C-alpha cells in the first residue's frame, strides 16, 4: 500500500462529519447593484482555451471521457445514486496542496461535465478570492459575488449568481473585498451558512468551488469544513509527496476526500489524462510513483 493510500485510509477511518451548522438567517433580496437581470455569461471556448482553462481542441474528447469517470462517484454521493447520500455531498471543493496544480482547470471542466447530467443544475463558485482566475477570465472581476454575499448577511446570494450559455450551468464570481477581510469572511460561520443556503434554495443543484491552495492559505481549510466532498488535484511529476501528505493532513477527518492525478502523460495516443482515486474505493488508485 502506497503512502498516499495509507494517508487516505487514515483520513477515511478518522473522524465523522463536521459539526452541526447554525440555522440560516433571514435574507434581503435584490441588492441595489444586483446583476439579477444581467444577460447570461457566454463561455467563449477560445478565450477559455487561451487562458489555459480548457484543453486543446484535439484533447477534448479524451478529457470528456476522463471527467465522466471522475464525476460519477461524486454525483452518486451528492444525490445518493446507488450509494448512501453524503451529508453536504452536493458541495464539492476542488483543492490542491500548492498553486498551479490545476484546480481552476478541473473546477471548470468538471462543472461543464456535470452540467451534461440529467436533472442536475451546477453552480460553479469562484472561491479562490485571492486569485480569482475564473472571475477574471469571464470578465466578472468587478462584479459582486461570493465575498459580497458573505459581507452582507442580509443579501440574497441567488441574486448574485449569473447564468451562462451552457444550460444548467451558472456561476458565482468571487466578488469584491480587501484580502484581509476575504480571509476572515471565508473562514467565518457565514460561509457555512451560505453553503447550506445554496443547497436549500435548489435541491437539484451541485456546487463546485474553485479554491486557493491548501498549504498557502488559511481560507481553503475553512472552506473544506463547509463542503461535503473534496477533490484534491495532484499535478503529476510536480507535487512532492511530503507536500501532498501535509495537505491531506489538513483535510484529516473529512468524510470524503478524493484524489485526481492531473496532467499525467499517459500513452502515445493521449497527452494528458486524469486518474481518480478515492479512499472509499480502493479499486481505483492514484498512479504509483507520481504522488
Residues found near Mg ion in the complex (CB under 5 A): 103-104, 133
Q: Which three cell numbers stand for residue 85?
A: 447520500
Which one of the spans 23-31, 96-104, 167-175, 219-227 is the region binding ligand ATP (CB under 6 A)?
96-104
Measured from the CB atom, is 149 or 209 closer to ligand ATP? 209
Residue 158 touches ligand ATP, criterion: CB under 6 A: no
Measured from the CB atom, is 195 or 274 closer to ligand ATP? 274
Residue 101 touches ligand ATP, criterion: CB under 6 A: yes
From candidates 27, 72, 121, 131, binder to ligand ATP by CB under 6 A: 131
Q: Which three cell numbers stand for residue 29?
A: 433580496
- Tell me, by CB under 6 A, how many residues bind ligand ATP: 17
| Residues shown for the chain | 291
Site track 204-243 with ligand ATP (rule: CB under 6 A), x = hit: ---------x------------------------------
Whether 276 and 257 have beta carbons less than 8 Å apart is answered as no
Question: Which runs of E-coded beta strand occur in 222-265?
Answer: 229-235, 257-264
In 3D, which of 23, 25, 20 has the Cα closest to residue 157? Answer: 25
In 3D, which of 258, 251, 198 has the Cα closest to residue 225? Answer: 251
Three-state DSSP at 270 gives coil
| End-to-end alpha carbon distance in the chain | 13
What is the contact surface with ligand ATP in residues (CB under 6 A)? 52, 55, 96, 99-105, 128, 131, 133, 213, 262-263, 272
Amino acid at each position: 500500500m502506497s503512502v498516499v493510500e495509507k494517508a487516505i485510509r487514515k483520513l477515511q477511518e478518522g473522524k465523522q462529519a463536521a459539526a452541526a451548522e447554525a440555522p440560516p438567517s433571514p435574507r434581503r433580496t435584490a441588492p441595489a447593484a444586483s446583476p439579477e437581470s444581467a444577460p447570461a455569461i457566454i463561455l467563449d471556448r477560445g478565450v477559455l482555451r487561451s487562458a489555459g482553462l480548457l484543453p486543446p481542441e484535439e484533447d477534448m474528447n479524451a478529457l470528456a471521457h476522463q471527467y465522466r469517470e471522475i464525476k460519477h462517484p461524486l454525483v452518486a454521493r451528492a444525490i445518493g445514486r446507488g450509494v448512501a447520500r453524503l451529508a453536504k455531498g452536493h458541495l464539492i471543493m476542488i483543492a490542491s496542496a500548492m498553486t498551479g496544480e490545476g484546480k481552476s482547470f478541473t473546477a471548470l471542466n468538471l462543472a461543464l461535465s456535470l452540467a451534461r447530467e440529467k436533472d442536475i443544475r451546477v453552480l460553479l463558485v469562484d472561491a479562490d478570492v485571492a486569485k480569482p482566475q475564473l472571475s477574471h477570465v469571464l470578465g466578472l472581476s468587478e462584479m459582486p459575488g461570493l465575498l459580497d454575499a458573505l459581507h452582507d448577511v442580509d443579501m440574497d446570494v441567488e441574486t448574485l449568481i449569473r447564468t451562462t450559455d451552457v444550460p444548467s450551468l451558472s456561476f458565482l464570481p468571487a466578488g469584491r473585498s480587501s484580502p484581509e477581510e476575504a480571509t476572515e469572511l471565508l473562514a467565518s460561520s457565514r460561509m457555512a451558512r451560505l453553503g447550506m443556503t445554496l443547497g436549500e434554495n435548489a435541491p437539484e443543484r451541485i456546487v463546485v468551488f474553485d479554491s486557493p491552495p491548501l498549504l498557502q492559505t488559511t481560507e481553503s481549510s475553512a472552506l473544506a469544513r463547509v463542503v461535503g466532498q473534496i477533490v484534491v488535484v495532484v499535478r503529476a511529476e510536480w507535487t512532492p509527496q511530503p507536500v501532498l501528505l501535509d495537505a491531506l493532513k489538513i483535510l484529516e477527518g473529512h468524510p470524503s476526500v478524493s484524489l485526481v492525478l492531473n496532467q499525467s502523460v499517459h500513452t502515445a495516443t493521449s497527452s494528458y489524462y486524469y486518474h481518480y482515486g478515492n479512499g472509499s474505493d480502493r479499486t481505483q488508485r492514484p498512479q504509483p510513483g507520481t504522488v
